[in-house]
Chains A and B, each alone.
Chain A
């Protein structure tokens, strides 16, 4: 019973931490998008701990890079300086 409660609490703490780190990465990505466009235009990037830790021009290559890292809380996004019109 105590082990179950501890396990539940541990999962909650892990989720809260994951939420916080992911949100920090997302906010950092949005705030720095203009700079990132200049540096990584037309490329995939891996963002971890508020920095770009890998980049590549194809999805398959960025996934290979990601496999070499701890992918927990990693954000993988494509950067494109061209504005894309989307119709839904």
Chain B
């Protein structure tokens, strides 16, 4: 799902494609998208949360400034302010170059329940269509 990701405090914004994951309690940006957004993962503070996947544990960082997420359809626009620190899933320092490449290739940005809870979510399996109603 395309979402406009805006961090006004850092003057960085970008369209980010998120995977909608109702099984995830929180949302997260990947190191790849953070970097494309202009954020340096090394400069971000550590998060208390950890993410596990691809045979290892990611180190989570946090964007400790307000983040604005804009959802837009042909008919409407809805903006969410996320002030509680947006998670960034970063590659661990001890990852081998091959592991790092794999993690960057296949780790998606996640739209979890912390954001999906703000919408009514409808899934039409026949059309493979997901509708968020604010």
Contacts and interface: CB of A to CB of B under 8 A. Distances in A.
Nearest to A22: B15
B44 interface: no
Contacts, number: 46
B72 A63 contact: no
Which of under 10, 10 to 19, 20 to 34, or 35 or more describes the interface residues of B?
Answer: 20 to 34
B117 interface: no
A66 B72 CA distance: 27
Contacts of A88: 21, 23-24
A69 interface: no
B105 interface: yes
B106 interface: yes
Interface of B is mostly: mixed
Contacts of A26: 2, 15, 17
A58 B23 contact: no
B70 interface: yes
B13 A15 contact: yes
Interface of B: 2, 4, 6, 13-15, 17, 21, 23-24, 32, 35-36, 70, 72, 100-101, 104-106, 108
B42 to A, nearest CB: 15
Interface of A is mostly: mixed
Which of under 10, 10 to 19, 20 to 34, or 35 or more describes the interface residues of A?
Answer: 20 to 34
Interface in A53-76: 58-59, 63, 66, 71, 73-74, 76
A86 B102 CA distance: 13
Interface in A33-62: 44, 58-59
Sorted nearest first, the 9 A-B pairs with minimum C-beta distance are A22-B15, A78-B105, A59-B104, A88-B23, A19-B4, A88-B21, A26-B2, A23-B2, A59-B101
A66 B36 CA distance: 9
B113 to A, nearest CB: 12
Contact of B72 (A19, A71, A73): A19
A18 B36 CA distance: 14
A84 B2 contact: no
9 contacts: A18-B14, A22-B4, A26-B15, A59-B100, A59-B105, A73-B14, A78-B106, A80-B105, A88-B21
